């Protein structure tokens, strides 16, 4: 019975070791200690969902925490898109959210389904308006007035009235 227990323990360790279990990507040796951090963004008193938030380090560091706000307007920050949390420090915050008018063709047809190629051709020619719903000043690191000191004392930022800054044609 003891031999069976030893065998099962060894097998369990083997499975854990080779199953790919990990806590995420390996951390670079020069990555500063990260602080778990979540910030909340509102607009006109409502959570701002689906906005891309980037914290730009004031000290010129190469480590940029960022993320996308959820349905509660909260963004959980990941540094350089991989590492959970943010290095301590001062940041200027850039927030972007683009709204594109829905297609007049209705919902997309699934690839391979009858009518897919025809739908794709029509959709590629369709003109739809797009605009930023975040005030222009918050979308640029040189003009934003949003700042955070991580670990953040203030975790909620109100972006004021919704904007409709039409984007230039690409």
Query: What pLDDT, on a 0 to 100 scale, did the predictor assign at position 86?
Result: 92
The average pLDDT across 145-155 equals 82
DSSP-assigned letters across all residues of 140-155: STTT---EEEESPS--
* Overall average pLDDT of the 138-146 stretch: 94
Reference 144, options 107, 92, 84; nearest CA is: 92
For residues 93 and 55, give the distance between their C-alpha atoms in angstroms, rounded to a whole number: 5
The per-residue pLDDT for range 78-129, each reduced to its tens digit, is 999 889 999 999 999 999 999 888 888 888 888 889 988 888 888 888 888 8
pLDDT above 80 (res 20): no
Query: All domains of the chain, ordered by start, with CATH?
Result: 32-97+133-162 (2.60.40.10), 98-132 (no CATH)
Residue-by-residue DSSP string for 75-116: EE-EETTTEESEESEEEEEEEE-EEEPPPTT-SPPPTTSTTH
Residue 54 confidence (pLDDT) above 60: yes
């Amino acid at each position: 019975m003891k031999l069976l227990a030893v065998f099962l323990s060894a097998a369990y360790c083997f499975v854990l070791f080779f199953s790919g279990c990990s806590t995420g990507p390996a951390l670079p040796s020069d990555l500063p200690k990260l602080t778990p951090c979540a910030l909340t963004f509102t607009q006109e008193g409502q959570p701002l969902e689906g906005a891309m938030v980037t914290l730009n380090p004031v000290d010129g560091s190469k480590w940029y925490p960022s993320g996308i706000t959820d349905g509660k307007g909260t963004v959980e920050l990941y540094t350089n898109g991989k590492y959970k949390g943010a290095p301590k420090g001062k940041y200027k915050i850039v927030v972007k959210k683009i709204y594109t008018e829905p297609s007049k063709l209705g919902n997309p047809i699934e690839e391979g389904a009858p009518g897919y190629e025809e739908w794709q051709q029509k959709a590629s020619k369709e003109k739809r308006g797009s605009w930023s719903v975040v005030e222009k000043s918050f979308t640029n690191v040189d003009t934003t007035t949003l700042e955070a000191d991580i670990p953040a004392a203030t975790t909620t930022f109100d972006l004021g009235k919704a904007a409709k800054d039409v984007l230039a044609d690409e």
